[in-house]
Amino acid sequence: MTCTRCRQFESAPGGALCRACEAEDLHPDVGRALPQAPPLAAGMPMVPPAWLRSPVGLGRAVAILLGAVAVADLVSVWADLALLDVMGRVADDGWSAALADDSDRADGLVVLAGLLQTVTYIATIVVFLIWFHRVRVNAEVFQPFGHRKKRGWAIGGWFVPVVSLWFPRRIAIDCWDASSPWDKPRSHALVNIWWTLWLLSLVAGEFGDRTYILAETVEEYRSAAERMLFADTLEIVAAVFAALFVLALTRMQDDKARSGPRAPEPVSV
């Protein structure tokens, strides 16, 4: 049962209030020292209370889907290598009927890899956004006033041009800090590595795809294949670190939820 007063933590056994609210009743001075929510301005819409919900199932699903993304990228690497081989043989030996068949197979592999990447990316994006919004709401339970962006940006921030380059990272950092163990903040290194690799893979992937679409000569196709190979390899690394980030934040929130609310510190008078 959730505390009937703060609606953030589980109520103490046999009671309607959580430990922190019970302590506030017993020690009013302590209650006055706790952070209070800012008053609502006239006409300001009410924000629904944050409810703690387990992110474990969603976190595992995201990690599995990121593994599928990495597999699709491996298929794409195979296609890139096949295309590089064909273009190299054409440059060295000229065009032939055998090379025409190999070229068709390489093009087919590129199309197949692109389809697999699209399907796995879309599925991963959907589940990841659900997970990301959930951990954002959970983080508000742990730390109600430590967030620089509202909950809606946990989803919308990924789709708004320009701000999508830093809003999701800022939300991730706030969630990471709020989900860290009490009085024991965790380093932001994993978040920063994940976000940097994500941005680099986006740029490299876009550049490689555009080069392949515009290619006309053998050398242009070879250059496009090299760039796509680099982008796909980088995406595999980015997917691995994304899975590590998701699993780490999921585990932090699960551990913190199981540890219960932080006991209020005594106030000296």
Q: Check residue 183 and give its pLDDT.
A: 73
- Taken in order 135, 139, 140, 141, the sign of the CA dihedral is positive
Q: Check residue 192 and give its pLDDT.
A: 97
Q: Check residue 6 and give its pLDDT.
A: 58
- Give 138-173 pLDDT, tens digit per residue: 999 888 877 888 888 999 999 999 999 999 999 999
Q: Check residue 225 and give its pLDDT.
A: 87
Greater pLDDT, 45 or 190: 190
The proportion of the chain whose per-residue pLDDT surpasses 70, expressed as a percent, equals 77
44 pLDDT above the threshold of 50: no
- pTM, rounded to two decimals: 0.77
Lowest mean pLDDT among 21-30, 58-67, 68-77, 217-226: 21-30
